[in-house]
């Protein structure tokens, strides 16, 4: 498989599923995906000055609605298998993903202070239990994750000011 999928191929290499009991949606791999592979490029469908539950933060006051829209169904996990690189505007695969596996990312890797925090139910050994954004996660824990350049800069600026 090539290292980059075309956006039109995203539909063929992923499957959108809806939970019958909750109605929530999630994106799953329809093919095996390998570490380092780029799942998709993305861009801003719309730019907002404040976050909502569907945006990805790219600066203090820029929160983007994703295009392709299908990417908004990559849900949170404290043990993510994808990373939203907001500088290069790509979604990168972090570890091997099997067919049928849900695609996930670590929300605090792009979000400083989320509009809607939530109780995490990912079940991973390193689950943070409450997800509210990077501002609410210790620097020691954040170092264990790939972080967007915006979040890296925020963490660095706080360390310098202390």
Q: How high is the pLDDT of residue 84? A: 98
The boundaries of the domain holding residue 69 are 7-161
Give the tens place of pLDDT for each residue, 30-81: 999 999 999 999 999 999 999 999 999 999 999 999 999 999 999 999 999 9
Handedness of CA 40, 41, 47, 48 (dihedral sign): positive
pTM: 0.91
What whole-number distance in Å separates Cα of residue 22 and Cα of residue 4? 33
CATH of the domain at 58: 2.170.270.10
Share of the chain above pLDDT 90, in %: 86
Position 1 in a domain: no
């Amino acid at each position: 498989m090539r290292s980059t999928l075309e956006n039109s191929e995203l539909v063929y290499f992923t499957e959108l599923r809806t939970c019958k009991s909750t109605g929530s949606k999630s994106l799953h791999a329809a093919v095996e995906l390998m570490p380092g592979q780029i799942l998709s490029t993305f861009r801003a469908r719309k730019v907002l000055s404040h976050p909502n539950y569907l945006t990805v933060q790219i600066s203090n006051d820029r929160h983007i609605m994703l295009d392709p829209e299908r990417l908004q169904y990559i849900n949170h996990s404290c043990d993510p298998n994808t990373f939203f690189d907001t500088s290069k505007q790509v979604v990168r695969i972090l570890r091997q993903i099997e067919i049928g596996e849900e695609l996930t990312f670590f929300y605090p890797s792009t979000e400083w202070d989320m509009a809607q925090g939530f109780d995490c139910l990912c079940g991973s050994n390193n689950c943070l239990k409450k997800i509210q954004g990077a501002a609410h996660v210790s620097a020691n824990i954040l170092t264990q994750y790939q972080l967007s350049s915006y979040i890296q800069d925020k963490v660095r600026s706080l360390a310098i000011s202390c």
